């Protein structure tokens, strides 16, 4: 279980946390361009300088805008709670909950306060995933199948699994030992972290609480470039245009997208626009009209309907909430 040393390390204010608490606003410490890329991919250059598995702490006292990763991420709720949106779906993490997210997931995190300690466990790339299989069988459980699917290049990456470790003392000890090891520079650190993570994966199979698993089959390979195209061109796109570009019947493609992703074409575009609009409200001083222009709307009425439909609030109320750091 938690050590006094780990408590001290994790509750200690980071430089970014101090700034966010005093400024009451989100600090763009990675210098990301949200105007030209409203849903950015997190740069990984500095994250893995010490090895293929990285441990970081989520910076408190603000929201984390929508973003994607080129790596697998696990979030462990060490203390408190937080609500995340994973591809637009709300998921609340409580103490000792852990979520495993595939590459290319769109993730955003609601405001976290003093007691809300969220730890990020990052797995760099396919070779790092394959190293884990030196210790565990690919077919041993659903989690290893998740990792195997994540290591494939030409496949859909939209899976996540939520675990409740509350009654799993061995799993808690493993994940917190992994965090401790990741925060140190001890000899054999990287090998120890690989062994701890492999052991944790085996234990996690007993703790699945919620999942979205959609392992790809061969037919999904043909849909992957279409979904990537939608994600990259959501500001000015229609199902008819996409169908024509990729040579499909419009009804067939719409049904295929729904069957594969669980969402209609319109829902995919709407959620992408929503995440982009939320980011622009959190990270920029853009007016509502400017936000509409960036995400591809002709007027603010469309933005109003978008927020009402998915968040049950208005754009103005959402902007007020994220500016004032009010917590639900």
| Residue 310: CATH number of its domain | 1.10.10.60
- Look up the pTM and report it: 0.89
- Domain end among 180, 212, 244: 212
- Domain end among 179, 212, 245: 212
Q: Indicate whether 190 and 295 sit together in one domain.
A: no
Q: Indicate whether 202 and 83 sit together in one domain.
A: yes
Looking at residue 230, its pLDDT comes to 94
Domain extent for 317: 220-324
Q: How many structural domains is the chain composed of?
A: 2
- Domain end among 192, 212, 232: 212
Q: Indicate whether 52 and 183 sit together in one domain.
A: yes
Q: Indicate whether 124 and 158 sit together in one domain.
A: yes
Looking at residue 215, its pLDDT comes to 55
The residue ranking higher by pLDDT, 159 or 248, is 248
Identify the CATH number of the domain in which residue 208 sits: 2.60.120.280
For residue 129, give both structure tokens.
């995933």
Report in angstroms the alpha-carbon separations of 289 from 284, 286, 292, 300, 304.
Answer: 13, 8, 5, 6, 11
Looking at residue 265, its pLDDT comes to 97
Q: Indicate whether 125 and 269 sit together in one domain.
A: no
Pairwise CA distance, residues 190 & 186, whole Å: 9
Pairwise CA distance, residues 123 & 130, whole Å: 11
Nearest one of 209, 121, 111, 125 to 162, comparing CA atoms: 209
Q: Indicate whether 226 and 311 sit together in one domain.
A: yes
Residue holding tokens 């982009």?
276
pLDDT of 81 strictly over 90: yes
Nearest one of 200, 154, 170 to 53, comparing CA atoms: 200
pLDDT digits (tens, 9 = 90+) for 86-140: 988 899 999 999 999 998 889 999 999 999 999 999 998 777 777 777 777 656 5
Q: Indicate whether 202 and 227 sit together in one domain.
A: no
């Amino acid at each position: 279980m938690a050590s006094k040393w780990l408590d001290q390390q994790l509750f200690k204010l980071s430089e970014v946390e101090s700034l966010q608490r005093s400024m009451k606003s989100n600090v763009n410490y990675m210098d990301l361009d949200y105007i030209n890329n409203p849903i950015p991919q997190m740069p990984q250059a500095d994250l893995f300088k010490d090895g293929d598995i990285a441990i970081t702490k989520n910076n408190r006292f603000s929201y984390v805008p929508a973003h994607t990763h080129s790596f697998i991420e696990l979030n462990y709720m060490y203390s408190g709670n937080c609500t995340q949106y994973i591809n637009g779906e709300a998921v609340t993490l409580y103490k000792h909950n852990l979520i495993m997210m595939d590459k290319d997931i769109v993730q955003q995190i609601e405001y976290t306060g003093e007691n809300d300690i969220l730890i990020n466990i990052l797995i760099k790339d396919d070779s790092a995933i394959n190293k884990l299989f030196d210790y565990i069988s690919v077919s041993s459980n659903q989690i290893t199948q998740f990792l195997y699917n994540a290591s494939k290049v030409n496949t859909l990456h939209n899976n996540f699994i939520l675990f409740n470790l509350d009654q799993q003392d061995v799993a808690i000890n493993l994940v917190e030992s992994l965090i401790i090891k990741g925060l140190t520079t001890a000899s054999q650190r990287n090998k120890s972290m690989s062994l701890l993570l492999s052991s944790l994966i085996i234990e996690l199979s007993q703790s699945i609480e919620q999942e979205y698993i959609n392992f790809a089959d061969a037919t999904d390979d043909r849909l992957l470039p279409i979904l990537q195209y939608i994600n990259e061109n959501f500001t000015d796109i229609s199902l008819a245009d996409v169908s024509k570009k990729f040579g499909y019947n419009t009804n067939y493609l719409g049904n295929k997208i729904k069957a594969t992703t669980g969402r209609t074409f319109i829902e995919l575009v709407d959620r992408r626009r929503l995440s982009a609009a939320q980011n622009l409200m959190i990270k920029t001083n853009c007016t509502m009209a400017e936000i509409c222009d960036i995400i591809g709307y002709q007027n603010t009425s469309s933005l109003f309907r978008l927020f009402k439909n998915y968040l049950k609030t208005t754009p103005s109320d959402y902007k007020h909430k994220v500016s004032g750091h009010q917590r639900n």
